[in-house]
Amino acid sequence: MANTAVSTALAAAVFAGGCFWCVEAVFEELDGVQDAVSGYAGGSAETANYEAVCSGTTGHAESVKILYDPKKITFRKLLEVHFATHDPTSLNRQGNDVGTQYRSAIYTTTESQAKIADASKRAYQAALTRAHRGTISTEIAEAPEFYYAEEYHQQYLAKNPKGYCGLGGCGVNYDPVTTG
C-alpha cells in the first residue's frame, strides 16, 4: 500500500479454518477487507513452508492474515463469517483435509479482539449446544509469528476457479450482537 495514512487505520487478525485457499477466498469477498494473505501460524518451528507444515512437524496451521478497515467491517463480523464457513467442532479436519495444519484458530492482535473472540466462541457454542452439535475446538490465542505461504498459494482459487475447497459450515446460526 502506497498510502501510509490508510494503512495505519487498518486492523489485522489471523484466522485458520481448514485449507487456506478457501479461507482466503471467503474473506477477500467481504467489503472492508483490504487484504487476505495465505500463510502459516501457530507452530513451534521458527520457519514454515508448505511441505514442512503438511508433514505435521512444525505445528503450524494453514492460516490467513486479514487486514481490514474497522470502520467498514467489525471484528465481530469477521468472527461471524469465520464460524459460519467452517466446522469449528471438527478437530484438525475440514472436509477431506485432515491434519493439525487444518485446525480451527483465531489469532488476535489486540486485547479487545481476544475478548470479543472469546465471547463470540461462547455464543456460538451455546447455539451449537441448542442444536445438539459438538464442542468447539477453535484455539484463540495472541497472534504468533505469521509466515507467508509460497506465491503459488496466494489467491489460489481466484487463479484456479475449479480448485478444491473443503470448507463447509455447521449450518447453525448465532446472534453475534450478544457477543461482548
Catalytic residue annotation: 19
Q: Residue 60 corresponds to which cell in the numbers above?
A: 503450524
Residue carrying the nine cell digits 484458530: 105
CB-count burial class (<10 Å; 0-12, 13-18, 19+) for 175? exposed
B/e letters for 81-115, b = 16+ CB within 10 Å, e = fewer, are bbbbbbbbbbeebbbebeebbbbbbbbbbeeebbe
